[in-house]
Amino acid sequence: MAVEAPGAARVTATGVTVTVDGVTHAFRRAGGWLGRDGDSWHVLDHDPVEAALSGARHGAPTRWPRPCRGP
């Protein structure tokens, strides 16, 4: 569900700045990746109509608890 709020965005070669309701968030940008505070997200184009028609899915189901890997 999309939420609409008054805001603005600025995209440069190395970053993205988003301001919504007076609060500004800055993200670093590298290729198709965004990063902030040690977290990162791979941003991909996604056409929901095409995905629905082709039966494509993104990712795998989330299982909890996730397996723990030892040292």
21-35 pLDDT, tens digit per residue, is 889 999 999 988 899
Q: Domain for residue 2, yes or no?
A: no
For residue 58, what pLDDT is reported? 59
Place 37 in a pLDDT band, splitting at 50, 70 and 90: very high
Q: Domain for residue 67, yes or no?
A: no
Number of domains in the chain: 1
Q: Cα–Cα–Cα angle for 49, 54, 59, nearest 5°?
A: 90
Q: Domain for residue 40, yes or no?
A: yes
Q: Domain for residue 38, yes or no?
A: yes
3-state secondary structure of 19: strand
Q: Give this prediction's pTM.
A: 0.55
For residue 70, what pLDDT is reported? 46
Arithmetic mean of pLDDT, 46-61: 72
Q: Give residue 12's domain range.
A: 7-54
Q: Domain for residue 22, yes or no?
A: yes
